[in-house]
Amino acid sequence: MNIAATASPLKFSRYQKFVVGILAFLQFAVILDFMLMSPLGAVIMPALAIGPKQFGLVVSAYAFSAGLSGLLTAGFADRFDRKKILLFFYIGFIAGTLWCGLAQTFQALLLARIVTGLFGGVIGSVVLAIATDLFPLQIRGRVMGLIQTAFAASQVLGIPIGLYLSNRWNWHVPFLAMAALGVLGGLIVSWRMQPVADHLGLPQEHSPWMHLLHTVNQPRYLAAFATTALVTTGGFMLMPFGSAYVVNNLGINLHSLPMVYLVTGLCTIFFGPLIGKAADAFGKFRVFTLGTALSIVMVLVYTHLKVISLPMLIVINAVMFVGIFSRMIPFQALMSAMPANTQRGSFNAIGASVQQLSGGLASVVAGHIVTLGTDGKLQHFDTIGYVVVGTSLVAFVLLWQLQRGIGNRLSPQRVAALIAEPPVNKSGS
């Protein structure tokens, strides 16, 4: 069912608001499950008597299994009602999260994270496919902006609550709480969300493997996947060492870190929807261009900081994340216009895999660049900044070429949604 016609282009209907809200909740659950592992490491390692190497394996197991699952399911992603696919993988994700909460050994936790990644890694791509199916391109920036607030909400709400539950009881409780909350979300999706199956009325390929092959062998799709990898790289190179850099290099007290994440998350929650509206009003590629410029400047500033006060760091960090989200939100809206209707599921599944795998690779590369000095400070962190700037510039060029190709394949009205120019009046009136 296409709900785009049930409301004006400028306003969401009640059902559209529900869909955006539930999609944002699903993103929140998946992102929180992934992000919560790192801060819980200080509790999990002594509880299971494991070292950093084993814990690192637990963390990376999710990312690599998620990347693998996206590739394995891409051929089947457009052959079923997207609501049914969403519920199938969401049930598996909840089961994996419950298993994490019940795990008592390293081996059990490792297997639980693999299972959680296999199911959770596909949910994000299904969410994007549903958003693309149900919302026209003209308002898709707003939709992506609202869905992306899930990342910030996981910082502001999820991580502090998860840490509180862990400190109050033990590290199992946050996962059990997420599983319980996930069951509630799954019931709401099952009860309220309508089928998303309009794409099934279009001609389908008989073989899912040929469907996958025809998705990955198109030059414009390959360019889109390469751009996705480059856009993803920056955050995954900076985040793993962010807390160590702030504490050891910038002289910020460890107990002040939650304040940095809290304010940054609140700013992102506030600006995310505004960025989405700006992308729809002024043009998605234009906003991406401004976001790229702002993020480049702020990454260079951030990676060259010396000892700094907490308020100044919070301001710099918040502005940098606004720049990053000013790239991500219009980028996702632009990518949603790339695949054909019958390839949205496979395209998004492969894109999600590329994000996971490139993120893992970026973390490994950053780990080889950064070293720990004798004074306890991180060395060569500025080099990461230069690498991020380089990948940002290459991503900008690739996306510039892609959006020109998208414009050649779309109607004047949809081109106007990309660049925010008045649509061509073919009638001449």
DSSP letter assigned to residue 423: P
How does residue 42 score in pLDDT terms, banded at 50, 70 and 90?
low
Q: Which helix (H) or strand (E) holds 372?
A: strand 371-372
Integer angstrom CA distances of residue 236 from 72, 73, 85, 233, 367: 24, 24, 28, 5, 11
The yes-or-no verdict on residue 218 having pLDDT over 60 is yes
Distance CA 172, CA 374 (A): 36
> Per residue in 305-320, pLDDT tens?
988 999 999 999 899 9
The yes-or-no verdict on residue 411 having pLDDT over 50 is no
The yes-or-no verdict on residue 249 having pLDDT over 50 is yes
HSE-up of residue 163 (Cα within 13 Å, Cβ side): 13
The yes-or-no verdict on residue 383 having pLDDT over 80 is yes
pTM: 0.72
Per-domain residue ranges for the chain?
3-193+209-419
Mean pLDDT of 359-372: 76
**Predicted local confidence at residue 261, as pLDDT:** 76
Secondary structure (DSSP) of 290-337: HHHHHHHHHHHHHHT--S--HHHHHHHHHHHHHHHHHHHHHHHHHHHT
The yes-or-no verdict on residue 427 having pLDDT over 50 is no
Q: What value does the mean pLDDT of the chain take?
A: 81
**Predicted local confidence at residue 423, as pLDDT:** 42
**Predicted local confidence at residue 408, as pLDDT:** 53
CATH T-level fold of 3-193+209-419: Growth Hormone; Chain: A; (1.20.1250)
Q: Which helix (H) or strand (E) holds 378?
A: strand 378-379
How does residue 4 score in pLDDT terms, banded at 50, 70 and 90?
very low
> Per residue in 49-80, pLDDT tens?
887 667 767 877 887 888 888 777 766 767 78
Contacts of 186 (CB under 8 A, 6+ apart): 87, 90, 91, 94
Mean pLDDT of 212-239: 81
Structure tokens given for 195: 């089928």
Q: Is 239 helix (H, G, I), strand (E, B) or coil?
A: helix
Q: Which helix (H) or strand (E) holds 147?
A: helix 140-153
Q: Is 252 helix (H, G, I), strand (E, B) or coil?
A: coil
The residue ranking higher by pLDDT, 141 or 288, is 288
Distance CA 231, CA 249 (A): 26
> Per residue in 262-272, pLDDT tens?
788 888 888 88
Structure tokens given for 159: 């991580």
Location of structure tokens 């496979």: 346
The yes-or-no verdict on residue 342 having pLDDT over 50 is yes
The yes-or-no verdict on residue 43 having pLDDT over 70 is yes
